[in-house]
Structure formats: structure tokens, C-alpha cells
Amino acid sequence: MIPYGRQDISQDDIDAVVETLRSDWLTQGPAVPNFERKIAAYCGAQYAVAVNSATSALHIACMALGLGRGDILWTSPNTFAASANCALYCNATVDFVDIDRRTYNMSVDALRNKLADAEREGRLPRIVVPVHFAGQSCEMREIKALADQYGFHIIEDASHAVGGRYLDKCVGDCRYSDITIFSFHPVKIITTAEGGIALTNNGELAGRISLLRSHGITRDPALMEESDGPWYYQQIELGYNYRMTDMQAALGLSQTARLDEFVLRRHAIAEHYDAMLRDLPITIPWQHPDAYSAYHLYPICIPAQISNINRRAVFDGFRAAGIGVNVHYIPVHMHPYYNRLGFKAGDFPQAEAYYRETISLPMYPTLTQSQQAHVIDVLKGLVA
């Protein structure tokens, strides 16, 4: 079975992890801060805090920005549930902003309209979480202008987008946001097995996120109320154990050396799909001129109206041919848990229409030319 995505682990990656296993530190050693510095430097952000998943990073990023009961967080419905769940962990309320038909990212027009309504009704969000779907940055310049106008914070969920660029700058430099999150799950661009990171240019936020990552416990005398001696530490907040291990960070450091290579390979695969699929009665992923995607995904759409074959038949045809295509995403508000919070079908029609048509084709650096040719042949057989 050709999967839709998979990691690329080299001998150097394996050696880096084994070296850590033989070292004095399995966790909280030198690899984690080295990895943090490397990702921060790569992106051009001042601070990076590595954690055990992007989900954890989203949670404590929200906490660091003061999200709590009575507050509202908005995100895109076309995402993994974690982008929204982080608000619920903080006892805040979630709402969604429908997507743009071309990029499948949060629509700036929909955001602008919803903000105007929310201001009238006194229910403006405290945090907006734009999600860089498939690795393509949202229109951050426009979203940041709205943040300045309406006074909300921005957390970029860039789980798909490490190695991507926006207006010729790295995603993760946080010039349009308070905090940016990456995921290092194995299907993402680089991996630490499980893992995530929060980037920011605000030292106070970075300090709060690192405190919350490790139980809310500090050894910094400046943060303590008093000190009993050199052994002393204090718990000053209710935090979590969200730490990344040194083994994971060593893998991440090693993978980061090939990040640009991975993204270039993903672009080569995307360009070949573009060229070979252009004349089929399907929609290939449109690229915004301001964005250089990390190409986590290559989502095509099988338009219900113009093709005599539907998405389900294409999906089944791929699977029968040994191609593990997938669907990204079931809109978050359509899940039963979110239905119980009051959301229903029809609430975000663009995300729902996109969901009914989409299939993610295999996209990962080790996809071979002959495997890609097979994917293209099978698709042509199914829709031509």
C-alpha cells in the first residue's frame, strides 16, 4: 500500500538517537535546547519551546495568552480537532470561520464579516487560530491587520507548514502572530515521533510556555517568592508534563538538516501532479502567490456537479489499487462532540462542500517516480 504520507528516517537520524541513548541524558539534556535554538534560528523567531506534541503546544500557548472561562477562540473548521480543542481545555468557547474556496484556509472576508457582527454583539474572540492548511500559509498580513483593529491574539497552527514561506519570509517568524506552532508527528514535514514546538518573539510568553510545559515549576530565583537554598524550586502555576525528550530532540535536530531538501522534494512531486492532472475534470490545489507551501498535503477535489464519478468511488478505486489516499478534513464542527456543543451541518457551508469533494493524494519525500506514476494512472482511469 502506498500511504498518503510517511516519514523519511536516515542513518544519520538513527545514529543521532542512538548517541543520545548512550549519553547521560534521555530527557532534559542538551538536545532539547539545541533543537529549540535550531528551529528558532531557521524560522527567524527569537524564542522556541519544544514540547511533546503540537496539541500540547496549542494548549499551553492558549494558557500563556490568558485564555479562560468566558473567552472565545476562533479557528478554521478545515483542520484537525486539536486546533479547536485547545480552547475547550482552557474552559473557553470555540467558534469557527468558514474557509476560502481557493486556498481552503480561513477566509479573510468571512473573518472580517464575523468580526463586525461579533463586535456589535459583544462577543469578540480573544484568540484566532489560523491553520496553514496543507502547508500553505494563510493570508497573515490581512489577518494581522484585523487583529490590530479588533484586539485579538493570533496563534498560527502551522502544523503542516514548517519549511514553508509567506511573503518571502519563513513561516514561524511570528511577524504576524503572537505564537506559531509546528507539529513533528511522523506524517508532518519533519518528525520527532511525537512532538511539537511553540515559537514567539515575546520573551514573557516564551517564559510562561516553558513554565507550563514543566508543571508550572521554576528554579529561577527571580520568579520565586522566597528561597530556602540552592536546592529550592517552587510551583507557581498549575502546569503539565509536556516535555520533549532528548531522544526526540536529537531526531528533530538531525531531521532539520534535511528540512529544505524535504520541502523541495515535495514541490517536485506537486509540480509533477500539477502537470499531469491539469486536464482532468478535477481541481488541483491552487497556490496563493504570497505563499510558498511546505506541501504537507496535495488535496484534489472531485467536483460533484461536473464529473459523473463521485469522491467515494474515486476513494474506493484508489484503495482497491493499493493507494492509501485519505481525506483532510472532516470539518471539526461536524464531529459528534462538537454537535453536542450546538454546531450542526450547514453552519460552515464552504468547509462542508470542500469536505465532500476532497481526496489527499500520496505526498512525501520518499514517494518514488514509479509510485507517483501509478497514482496518476489510477486517477486517470477513475475520472477520465
CA distance 222 to 148: 32
Binding to ligand PLP by residue 178, rule CB under 6 A? no
| Residue 251 touches ligand PLP, criterion: CB under 6 A | no
Q: Which of residues 61-80 bind ligand PLP (CB under 6 A)?
A: 79-80
CB of 68 to ligand PLP, least distance (A): 21
Residue 206 CA, chain-centre distance (Å), reads 19
Q: Is 252 in the site for ligand PLP (CB under 6 A)?
A: no
53 contacts ligand PLP (rule: CB under 6 A): yes
Least distance CB 132 / ligand PLP (angstroms): 8
CB of 51 to ligand PLP, least distance (A): 9
The residue from 5, 36, 48, 55 that contacts ligand PLP (CB under 6 A) is 55
185 binds ligand PLP (CB under 6 A): yes
83 counts as binding ligand PLP under rule CB under 6 A: yes
> Does 54 engage in binding with ligand PLP (CB under 6 A)?
yes
Span from 154-162, 301-309, 316-324, 348-356 in contact with ligand PLP (CB under 6 A): 154-162
Residue 326 engages ligand PLP in binding (rule: CB under 6 A) = no
Of 36, 139, 156, 157, which lies in the binding site for ligand PLP, with binding defined by CB under 6 A?
Answer: 157
**Can you tell me which of 183, 200, 358, 372 binds ligand PLP, judged by CB under 6 A?**
183
Phi-psi region of 160 (alpha: psi -120 to 50; beta: other; left: phi over 0): alpha
Contact of 31 with 246, CB cutoff 8 Å: yes
Among 159, 200, 255, 372, binds ligand PLP (CB under 6 A): 159
CB of 159 closer than 8 Å to CB of 54:
yes
In the complex, least distance from residue 196 CB atom to ligand PLP, rounded to whole angstroms? 5
Q: Which of 125, 163, 196, 252 binds ligand PLP (CB under 6 A)?
A: 196
- Contacts with ligand PLP by CB under 6 A lie at 53-55, 79-80, 82-83, 131, 157, 159-160, 183, 185, 196
